[in-house]
């Protein structure tokens, strides 16, 4: 079986980390959380004080990921992070799963995690406007990208769906989620898209 390097990406609070961790256990895979890796290996350029986030050094992160992937031999590697598509060396990537969550549900989850103000609205806009999906498609092409609507699903259900796709029991799709159209139909677009 060829080596798999699977990326789990999506807007914050879509369930990336929990899903990626479950998937790693189920596949006996090496798990890489990009935020933890960047902190531990000092792959950062500083802080974005306005957004209260760390700025990642993409070149150093790509180099470190290449090392990790090569050191794991034939073992599957699962990389978790909203910028995974941008920093994982293209030749290694076998599949990218972009987790999508209905903005109404997502907003509730973000607010529970302390997102507020500009950070909340920027991340909701990112989900509504397909930013992580577009980034993945631009970086790796549609043949490697799968878009999964995880609204109302547990991480366990999402991990099982990913395994079904990897094993060919379920098809992989892109372009099935349209939060912009959904919010517009429901009369919620102005309330959710404040950027």
pTM, two decimal places: 0.93
Residue 195: inside a domain, yes or no? no
Confidence (pLDDT) at 55: 74
pLDDT one-digit tens code per residue, 74-120: 899 999 999 999 999 999 999 999 999 999 999 999 999 999 998 89
| pLDDT mean over 24-35 | 94
Give the domain range for residue 43: 5-105+132-177
Q: Exposed (0-12), middle (13-18) or buried (19+): which is 133, by Cβ within 10 Å? A: buried
What's the total number of domains in the chain?
A: 1
Give how far Cα 66 sits from Cα of 30, 59, 61, 79, 106, Å: 13, 11, 9, 12, 32
pLDDT at 20: 98
Using the predicted structure, report yes or no on whether residue 58 has a pLDDT greater than 90.
no
**Residue 58's CB: how many other CB atoms inside 10 A?**
13
Residue 123 lies in a domain: no
Tell me how far the alpha carbon of residue 149 is from its chain's centroid.
12
Show the tokens assigned to 100.
Answer: 């999508």
Residue 63 lies in a domain: yes
Residue 140 belongs to a domain: yes
Which CATH number is 21's domain given?
3.40.50.300
């Amino acid at each position: 079986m060829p080596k798999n390097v699977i990326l789990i990406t999506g807007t914050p609070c879509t369930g990336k980390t929990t899903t990626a961790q479950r998937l790693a256990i189920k596949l006996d895979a090496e798990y890489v959380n990009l935020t933890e890796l960047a902190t531990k290996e000092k792959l950062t350029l500083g802080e974005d004080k306005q957004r209260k986030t760390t700025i990642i050094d993409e070149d150093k992160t790509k180099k470190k990921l290449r090392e990790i992937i090569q050191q794991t031999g034939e073992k599957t590697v699962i990389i978790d992070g909203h910028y995974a598509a941008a920093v994982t060396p293209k030749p290694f990537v076998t599949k990218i799963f972009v987790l999508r969550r209905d903005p109404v549900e997502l907003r509730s989850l973000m607010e529970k995690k302390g997102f507020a103000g500009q950070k909340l609205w920027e991340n909701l806009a990112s989900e509504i406007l397909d930013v992580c999906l577009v980034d993945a498609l631009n970086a790796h092409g549609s043949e490697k990208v799968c878009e999964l609507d995880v609204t109302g699903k547990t991480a366990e259900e999402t991990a099982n769906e990913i395994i079904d796709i990897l094993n060919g029991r379920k098809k992989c799709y892109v372009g099935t989620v349209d939060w912009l159209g959904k919010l517009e139909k429901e009369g919620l677009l102005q309330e959710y898209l404040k950027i």
